[in-house]
Chain A
């Protein structure tokens, strides 16, 4: 009996530690920004080599986004709960962009759904969500999607019906593809991202 109580204490402690430290780990890591200043592209997400199909039927590599200011999130087009809200959060950032930055920012949605989200679904999703020309919706192979989720600190799991359980994060990259800001959760104030974009 004692043992069981001890195990419960351990488990509770474990998650307390997880909780108290979790949010800090989601924030930007100041160290990484400093070291990247000396070695320009060592921290760039554009080191990844995966191929991605967009809603226009073109195949691109993420490096194509170099020079732009990408705001990324991972979704799937059949998602009814979180994904439309993620898009709404990104649009809230879009409406607050300073005039000088508007043309530089590109909004990128990457699908978890390697099996089903082919071009026509991406296109349909872009239309349904009324996404402008400054939005890309991407589909890739499951290993590339998994790797990108690691880089963006997004968690996801495929459910038995082919949908996905996933965390809701939005990430901001600089013009060299370095991750400079991230947040988790829905319906957050767009101001922190807008401020960060102004500094780029």
Chain B
């Protein structure tokens, strides 16, 4: 039985599919990269959605957090930026599910401290990243990093993701580092949570997007150019479908983030 990972209506978004896998092996960072980050080398990847005729997207080198931001780390941000605390945060930037799994404005249960923070809006994730002097990764950066094969898991990434999709939600999200580390030394890109990207709202879908011709031209300028390259790639399709269904103020139980920054 495959659990459909994405369904939403209004501000409800229910995701069923989280699982933990083999322990990551913990690569050390080199001295030249910011602490806790990994340098992703420049390269190309084949995006799921692209412009007709384009084979691969070039991605410049960038830094990416090795792990997703945890509840404990997010609490430090809240303490330093009280306007983001649950009881007083602006509804412009969050919905009512914001940090709903916390016990209070500044209180989190011990067992979730090392778990990735979720139920955070794009605006909150963006504010955290700015506060850290970082930014959210772009879709291209995230997908490029996410395409890297596992270094410590024999299964292809595609299989890891589909296995994850098919598992039920655990009551408490596992700690960061509980899934696989890829060949860029980045951990948990699949299998733990979904992650915000800076430009998630560049995913344009309308109706059944498997056919680009069905995208409504009145709603999306130049929409005919956007189409899927690899229509067999169900895992990528789900990520893009999910991103296409989000709004920046949404809080989702299994949606967190990690930060990126430019290589200067």
Contacts and interface: CB of A to CB of B under 8 A. Distances in A.
B201 A168 contact: no
A24 B135 CA distance: 31
18 contacts: A6-B2, A13-B7, A15-B208, A25-B11, A32-B91, A43-B92, A47-B90, A82-B218, A83-B221, A147-B123, A150-B123, A153-B247, A155-B201, A157-B204, A159-B51, A165-B222, A165-B225, A186-B218
A60 interface: no
Given A11-B241, A15-B208, A155 B225 contact: no
Interface string A128-148: 000000000000000100110
A155 B220 contact: yes
Contacts of A143: 135, 198
Most buried by A among B122, B198, B202, B226: B202
Contacts of A79: 221
A199 interface: no
B6 interface: yes
B220 A165 contact: yes
Contact of A155 (B92, B198, B203, B237): B203
A146 B130 CA distance: 14
Interface string A78-110: 010111000000000000000000000000000
Interface residues of B, number: 47
Contacts of A17: 7-9
Contacts of A47: 90, 92
Interface in B1-42: 2, 4, 6-11
A21 interface: yes
A37 interface: no
B9 A21 contact: yes
Nearest to A3: B2
B220 A167 contact: yes
Contacts of B92: 32, 42-45, 47, 151
Nearest to B199: A146
B91 A42 contact: yes
A184 B209 CA distance: 18
Given A11-B208, A165-B204, 8 more contacts: A12-B208, A14-B241, A79-B221, A151-B248, A157-B202, A165-B222, A166-B221, A167-B219
Interface in A152-189: 153-160, 163-168, 184-187
Contacts of A160: 51, 54
B204 A167 contact: yes
Nearest to A7: B234
Interface in B81-118: 90-92
Contact of A168 (B7, B11, B135, B219): B219
